[in-house]
A and B are shown apart, each in its own frame.
Chain A
Amino acid sequence: MARRNTVVFFIILALFAFAICAIIYPLFGRDTMRLGLDLQGGIHLVYQADFSEVEPGTEAEAIDGAIAVIEKRINVLGVTEPLIQKQGSDRIVVELPGVSEVEKATSLIGETALLEFREQHVDENGKVTWVPATADINGEEKVLTSAYFKENTYVGQGQLGQIYLYFEWNEEGSEISSQVTGRLIGKPLAIFLSGQPLLGEDGQPIAPIVRSQITDRGQIEGLSLSEATELSRLLNAGRIPVPLTLIYEQTVSPILGADFVDMSLKAGLIGIILVMLFMIVYYRLPGALASLALIFYGAVVLAVFKLWPVTLTLAGIGGFVLSIGMAVDANVLIFERMKEEFATGRTLGAAIEAGFNRAWAAIRDSNVTTIIVCVILIWLGSSVVESAPVTGFAVTLLIGVLVSMFSAIIVTRTLLRLFVGSALAKRTSLFSVHQEKK
């Protein structure tokens, strides 16, 4: 019995050492805790897709296409570990950690990136407007746009340093283009982006005069290098196949996030120390051992968070803090039982064993109910109800409850057994128990 206990003790020590190493050193390729957007700073966006113009039955395809396009566009921003995923059947969540320029991000993602070629139209009063340049293809009127570009545009520089954006028409595009440019020789052709004329470096609309019929390829001159490069990337990334509306945006500055992490760590630490003080004052030696178990608990939980890895959010920290308070609950249950058993005249060793055995049913049932709540919340939070805080809270609480059952029962019992039979165990005042004289 005693030998087995010693073996368990060393296994616990090894686990503790491992947990500490895992927290301090990079292990299994994990250098740091994974922090959620609210703790790390960044941008959280939710887009709602409008399927009204999408052919029925192809909604899923359209959403996946939109996600692929957004991914390509986000790459332009150079964000590390962006998250772009489908939420439900008609929403897209975009998370950009460490980014704080929400305006740039939303304009880049929401950019329609459709260039429209327009020709001049003079009405009866002599007023000049730009109207879409169209061609008649098999009886259908089609507008000349970048939708007919091949996705291989590139930016080049002429001998005089002028910037060109080169593009190539696909089959349908070259038909429309040859009709339009054939009709407009000697006349200007302007380029519009999202209803606005594309402006050159000089601030003037880019509207070159058509010199010859263009069938397969062309170039746009006058943009600045950075504008041309971004436009080229957007064009190559393709068009988002379904209209998206931004319905939720959240920006957290990285400074605020870092503050939260600091403060939560401080709060967690102070919480643990106060709980340990309480346990030692109230339960003496067993309380001190339970405090050691609590340190073990804290280390193992943090190690699990880091290695899993669990994405820590503010709500997740809430779950963790709650689990600290509840971690000693099992010990409180056990020690109260121990006191009762000791009071009925059992020896200390017998009282300890009886305390653990008697308290087990209560510990099991109370923790199982918490586990059930957590599992249901995790399942719902990640499927039906789509709530990140709900999931974050439940995951950390679940890990906390599972680890606390181990630390409060196995660890505390092993430590207590080490003391049974030693000289210390004879000093019952250390156990804050009183035996009735019979």
Chain B
Amino acid sequence: MFDIAGKRFLFLIISEIVILIAIIALGVFGLKPGIEFSSGSLLAVNFEQEVNQAELEAEMASLGYSHVIIQRTGTGDFFIRTQEITAEEKTALEADLSARFGPLTEREFDSISSMVAGETVHNAIIAVAVAAVGILLYITWAFRKMPRPFHYGTCGIIALVHDVLVVTGVFAIMGVLLGWEINLMFITGVLAVIGYSINNTVVVFDRIRENLSKGISHDFEAVVNSSMVGTLSRSLNTSLTTLVVVLALMLFVGASIQNFAIAMLIGIVAGTYSSLFVAPTLLIVWERGEWGRLAFLRRAKVKEA
């Protein structure tokens, strides 16, 4: 049988390092807000003829649009981001562009004033916080017959925060490296990760509950370990099926839903890891009062060796 519980400090320290990097990335770089979270306009157009991106950029500059971000999304397809423009200005811009590059079709036009921009993220954070409290209450209630039911709820939430931090951290880093922006689909993806993460954790906790009441061992660590091993194949299989569906979504629906899919992909990996290696091992750490060892990397390693 695998000894997951015995190597708990290794797993937890890996998580600690990853989370630390994520927090630093979030603190230093922050998340790159997409059109929905910053004021401005987004125009998605399709040119009938192939258009060179550099030429399009030059043309936009000569039309007097200074801070323009142009992204090519397909043959003749471009996302053009500008400062906030009105519908009239957009019509004029389209006329200018088609005069230069030939006929074009407008696919999408979004314009957001700075007033709404900040609200969406703020609202999503409130929603997530309230949902987390709801989860905490339910898990504590579901494990009320266990000693210290509050531990289960709290460790479940820690695993959840862990997964959200990993996902947002990756987006913060990729925002700097590859210009990944966060949009509403990203927020939806984070919500999905939360649902997925807690679902996974509860399955492992449930097995701990069952094994504890069966009394398979007096040693809490042994009980937790056999529960983790017992749910291992289930966790991996469910992750695999979810991963497959998300991949299909990412490959076929393309750009618009990509942020959702990428957030989910990262979230599934992080969620599988945290439900197996973080939430249950934290239960042991808490039970034994070993929090101190999590803060002292060196000592933990020495003892394990």
Contact = CB atoms under 8 A, between A and B. Distances in A.
Interface stretch (B61-69, B165-173, B197-205): B197-205
Interface string B187-230: 11101101110111011011101100000000000000000001
A112 interface: no
Contacts of A274: 244-245, 248
Nearest to B240: A278
Given A248-B112, A369-B135, A387-B123, A318 B257 contact: yes
Contacts of A272: 245
Given A318-B188, A397-B195, A372 B134 contact: yes
Secondary structure at the B interface, as helix, strand, loop or mixed, is: helix
A362 B207 contact: yes
B98 interface: no
Interface string B61-80: 00000000000000000000
Given A263-B254, A267-B249, A369 B198 contact: yes
Contacts of B291: none
Interface stretch (A126-134, A165-173, A376-384, A417-425): A376-384
Interface stretch (A20-28, A98-106, A135-143): A98-106
Interface residues of A, number: 73
B91 interface: yes
A104 to B, nearest CB: 9
Interface string B240-253: 11111110110111
B300 to A, nearest CB: 31
Interface residues of B, number: 71
B256 interface: yes
A393 to B, nearest CB: 5
A contact face: mostly helix, strand, loop, or mixed: helix
Interface centre among B139, B245, B257, B264 (most CB of A within 10 A): B245
Interface of A: 46, 48, 100, 102-103, 106-107, 245-253, 255-256, 260, 263-264, 266-268, 270-272, 274-275, 278-279, 282, 314-315, 317-319, 321-322, 324-326, 328-329, 332-333, 336, 340, 358, 361-362, 365-370, 372-374, 376-377, 380-381, 384-387, 389-390, 393-394, 397
Interface of B: 44, 87-88, 90-91, 105-113, 115-116, 120, 123-124, 126-127, 130-131, 134-135, 138-139, 142, 184-185, 187-189, 191-192, 194-196, 198-200, 202-203, 205-207, 209-210, 230-231, 233-234, 237-238, 240-246, 248-249, 251-254, 256-257, 260, 264
